[in-house]
Amino acid sequence: MNACIQLAHGGGGTLMQQLIDQELRCLYNDPEQVLHDAARLERPPGLLAFSTDSYVVQPLEFCGGDIGSLAITGTANDLAMAGARPLHLSVALILEEGLPLELLRRLVASMAASARSCGVAIRTGDTKVVERGKGDGIFITTSGIGVVEAPNAIDPLAIQAGDQILVSGDLGRHGLAIMAARHGLDLQPPVASDCAPLWPLVEQLLAAQVQLHCLRDLTRGGLASALQELAQARGLEFKIENKQLPVLEAVARSCELLGFDPLHLANEGRFVAVLPPQHLERALALLAPLGGRHIGEVREGPGRVLLRTEFGTERLLLPLSGELLPRIC
Amino acid sequence: MNACIQLAHGGGGTLMQQLIDQELRCLYNDPEQVLHDAARLERPPGLLAFSTDSYVVQPLEFCGGDIGSLAITGTANDLAMAGARPLHLSVALILEEGLPLELLRRLVASMAASARSCGVAIRTGDTKVVERGKGDGIFITTSGIGVVEAPNAIDPLAIQAGDQILVSGDLGRHGLAIMAARHGLDLQPPVASDCAPLWPLVEQLLAAQVQLHCLRDLTRGGLASALQELAQARGLEFKIENKQLPVLEAVARSCELLGFDPLHLANEGRFVAVLPPQHLERALALLAPLGGRHIGEVREGPGRVLLRTEFGTERLLLPLSGELLPRIC
């Protein structure tokens, strides 16, 4: 087989069958399933969660991850944010003609390893090839099915005045890692993406009977966009303490140098949790050892986010209108 | 809002929120769901089927359909081919910077209409934007969940020697319609894609208690590739009567002119069914009025497809190795 992807690899003929057999079969939990266009699944007991994301990150490989690990972890994380245990994943590839097979192999291995670490099975997939110059190496779209284990609906509309707001760990690493890889910046010390599965931590919170009103992962747009979306959806005011926001020294320093706000940078292994005050202590006991923090609270007021600075002044925390860093995930 | 997609529409900020609110919200069955990255679904009663496909067809609009109708119908059809009633769909968009909003609106309307005609609800979605020259207008990845209604496993491995082979309608129209649109061919009479939902017909077959050993839609690679895949997967010989293959006069004529074999052309609303001989008559009673035909049978022998010509000779029906027409779906 040629060492690069050819257009004919997408044609539905023997070359495509070869590509699937030799390079992609290892992804699937049950290789027999490759015979079908649809997987048959045992019916899970409970409400289902269903999510999808396309991944177009550039560069394809970066410190702490690659588009493959991102595509698996990101969709599994979207399910976890609905209080659902991720179970089944689909993987659809759009390959650009000329993609080196060596690179495809690394990304496939990375997807398989990430699926294992997320506890999900890849059940079905698809492969298309587009001409050189009509794609960008590889785009990956994953969809996931999970089973909801949270006893109550985890939902922006469940947020109440008086609720407490936590983040699960330090902020801004994924965005900075992509930025460094894209522009060949030699950050010292190097900053690795925080890309990681979120379900294990959500599972622990649920096992400790922490009632979760809302969860949101802090991807595109970072903490600022996530908080703004939630405050606006619910029509309540979020008050955040700037000095409580966990940002690594190395990240803060690079952000200052580059003119970024870590609150706008994407994360791939972090979430914000909004929960009733009486559950705060139990939640913090689980989150704090991993770098999580209690960052603020919800109160009656307009749907907006107020950031209290170290000087005691307050300012509106606004989401970006557009793009800080395109193609971050 | 600007009349074209900008990179910033993919950034997770207010511009992206506007795009979703103003252009995409109408896709969703339950607009509240747009607040979440994962949809919560009622658990359907029965085994689930799960499928995904990326759609990269060019041109984006063609006689009889567009990339939107194809993306909805195609994934719903993959579920139907597993004997499953399509229920829930996800839609992930990869937009190229500069895509005219007018075109996006037409495609979104077409997706919404196709979802209605397939009886599926679009539950969750995602939108990414890539720079000009890194995509090709729009790529759409849909994933689907269905509930299996067939009483037995519909599977290549269920095929038996003695089984009869049927196609559900005339062959080659989708491939020819794409070809004509791509190269500005003015076919007389015009040939429209056969793009159509397959579940209604499968449902009728099941209701008539027709036992289905295997179903396969005839997309990339056409009838030839589908039959070859099934014969090889099961290790049995398929014998096909050339004179039984339904090809419209207009399609046959254009194929001859252009040097194509209609058996290699993609279809988007046709399937092959393999079933026990005692169920043939009941199946034909449903398929024949729609142009379906009894085209051959399965017998002991090597995993291959033999085509008996009008002259009584036999030849191997081979799938293409690569590409007849790239980016057909």
> What 3-state DSSP class applies to A225?
helix
Domains and CATH numbers, chain A: 7-148 (3.30.1330.10), 156-316 (3.90.650.10)
Of B45, B134, B326, the CB nearest to A136: B134
- Give residue B62's pLDDT: 96
| Sign of the dihedral defined by the CA atoms of residues A126, A127, A133, A134, in that order | negative
Cβ contact, residue pair A136, B130, below 8 Å: yes
Tokens of B109: 């309307």
CB of B174 within 8 Å of a chain A CB? The answer is: no
Measured between CA atoms, the residue of chain A closest to residue B93 is: A54
Cβ contact, residue pair A124, B50, below 8 Å: yes
Cβ contact, residue pair B7, A124, below 8 Å: no
Measured between CA atoms, the residue of chain A closest to residue B76 is: A38
CB of A49 within 8 Å of a chain B CB? The answer is: yes
pLDDT tier for residue B36 given thresholds of 50, 70 and 90 = low
CB of A81 within 8 Å of a chain B CB? The answer is: yes
Measured between CA atoms, the residue of chain B closest to residue A148 is: B40
Using a CB-CB distance cutoff of 8 angstroms, which residues of chain B are in contact with residue A219?
12
Please answer whether residues B47 and B148 qualify as being in contact, where contact means their C-beta atoms are separated by less than 8 angstroms: yes
Per-residue pLDDT at B119 exceeds 70 = yes
Average pLDDT score over residue span B23-48:
71
What DSSP line would sit under B68-129, residue for residue?
A: HHHHHHHHHHHHHTTTEEEEEEEEEEEEETT-BHHHHHHHHHHHHHHHHHHT-EEEEEEEEE
Per-residue pLDDT at B33 exceeds 80 = no
pLDDT by residue, tens only, chain A of 329 residues: 458 888 888 777 778 888 888 888 878 766 655 556 777 776 667 789 999 999 999 999 999 999 999 999 999 999 999 999 999 999 999 999 999 999 999 999 999 999 999 999 999 999 999 999 999 999 999 999 999 999 998 999 999 999 999 999 999 999 999 999 999 998 888 999 999 999 999 999 999 999 999 999 999 889 999 999 999 999 999 999 999 999 999 999 999 988 889 999 999 999 999 999 999 999 999 999 999 999 999 999 999 999 999 899 999 998 877 667 788 89
Residues 274-303, chain B, touching A (beta carbon < 8 A): none
Residues 178-217, chain B, touching A (beta carbon < 8 A): 217
CA nearest A201: which of A244, A174, A177, A166?
A166
CA A315 to chain centre: 28
- Whether a cis peptide bond, with omega within 30° of 0, leads into A289 is no
CB of B241 within 8 Å of a chain A CB? The answer is: no
* Residues linked to residue B214 through DSSP beta bridges, in sequence order: B274
A136 to chain B nearest CA, in Å? 5
Interface with chain A: mutation pick from B1, B35, B122, highest number of A CBs within 10 Å: B35
CB of B29 within 8 Å of a chain A CB? The answer is: no
What DSSP line would sit under B20-65, residue for residue?
A: IIIIIGGG-SSGGGGGSSEEEEPPPSS-EEEEEEEE--SSSEETTE
Average pLDDT score over residue span B162-173:
98
Per-residue pLDDT tens over the stretch A104-122: 999 999 999 999 999 999 9
Please answer whether residues B122 and B115 qualify as being in contact, where contact means their C-beta atoms are separated by less than 8 angstroms: yes
- Give residue B214's pLDDT: 96
CA nearest B323: which of B225, B226, B183?
B225
Cβ contact, residue pair B52, A92, below 8 Å: yes
Of A11, A145, A156, the CB nearest to B35: A156
Per-residue pLDDT at B1 exceeds 50 = no
Per-residue pLDDT tens over the stretch B271-287: 999 999 999 999 999 99
Fill in the DSSP letter of residue A223.
H
- Give residue A323's pLDDT: 64
- Give residue A192's pLDDT: 96
Tokens of B291: 């142009």
d(CA B237, CA B17): 55
CB of A171 within 8 Å of a chain B CB? The answer is: no
Tokens of A320: 């970006």
Cβ contact, residue pair B40, A82, below 8 Å: yes
Per-residue pLDDT at B325 exceeds 90 = no
B34 to chain A nearest CA, in Å? 11
Cβ contact, residue pair A322, B88, below 8 Å: no
B175 to chain A nearest CA, in Å? 12
Tokens of A128: 């298309």
d(CA A262, CA B236): 61
d(CA B6, CA B132): 9
Using a CB-CB distance cutoff of 8 angstroms, which residues of chain A are in contact with residue B220?
10-12, 16
A46 to chain B nearest CA, in Å? 6
Cβ contact, residue pair B323, A10, below 8 Å: yes
Please answer whether residues A61 and A127 qualify as being in contact, where contact means their C-beta atoms are separated by less than 8 angstroms: no
User: Predicted ipTM?
Assistant: 0.92
A133 to chain B nearest CA, in Å? 6
Cβ contact, residue pair A327, B128, below 8 Å: yes
- pTM for this structure? 0.93
Please answer whether residues B168 and B292 qualify as being in contact, where contact means their C-beta atoms are separated by less than 8 angstroms: yes
CB of B86 within 8 Å of a chain A CB? The answer is: no
Cβ contact, residue pair A323, B10, below 8 Å: yes
Cβ contact, residue pair B124, A50, below 8 Å: yes
CB of A145 within 8 Å of a chain B CB? The answer is: yes
Of B39, B219, B321, the CB nearest to A50: B39
d(CA A309, CA A170): 18
Please answer whether residues A267 and A218 qualify as being in contact, where contact means their C-beta atoms are separated by less than 8 angstroms: yes
Interface with chain A: mutation pick from B91, B136, B143, highest number of A CBs within 10 Å: B143
- Give residue A1's pLDDT: 46
What DSSP line would sit under A118-179, residue for residue?
A: HT-EEEEEEEEEE-TTSS-SEEEEEEEEEEE--SS---GGG--TT-EEEESS--SHHHHHHH
Cβ contact, residue pair B38, A56, below 8 Å: no
Of B35, B139, B326, the CB nearest to A7: B326
CA A281 to chain centre: 26
- Give residue A66's pLDDT: 98
Per-residue pLDDT at B153 exceeds 50 = yes
Per-residue pLDDT tens over the stretch B64-115: 999 999 999 999 999 999 999 999 999 999 999 999 999 999 999 999 999 9
Measured between CA atoms, the residue of chain A closest to residue B143 is: A143
Cα angle value A138/A50/B6 (rounded, 5°):
45
Using a CB-CB distance cutoff of 8 angstroms, which residues of chain A are in contact with residue B93?
54
Cβ contact, residue pair A11, B220, below 8 Å: yes
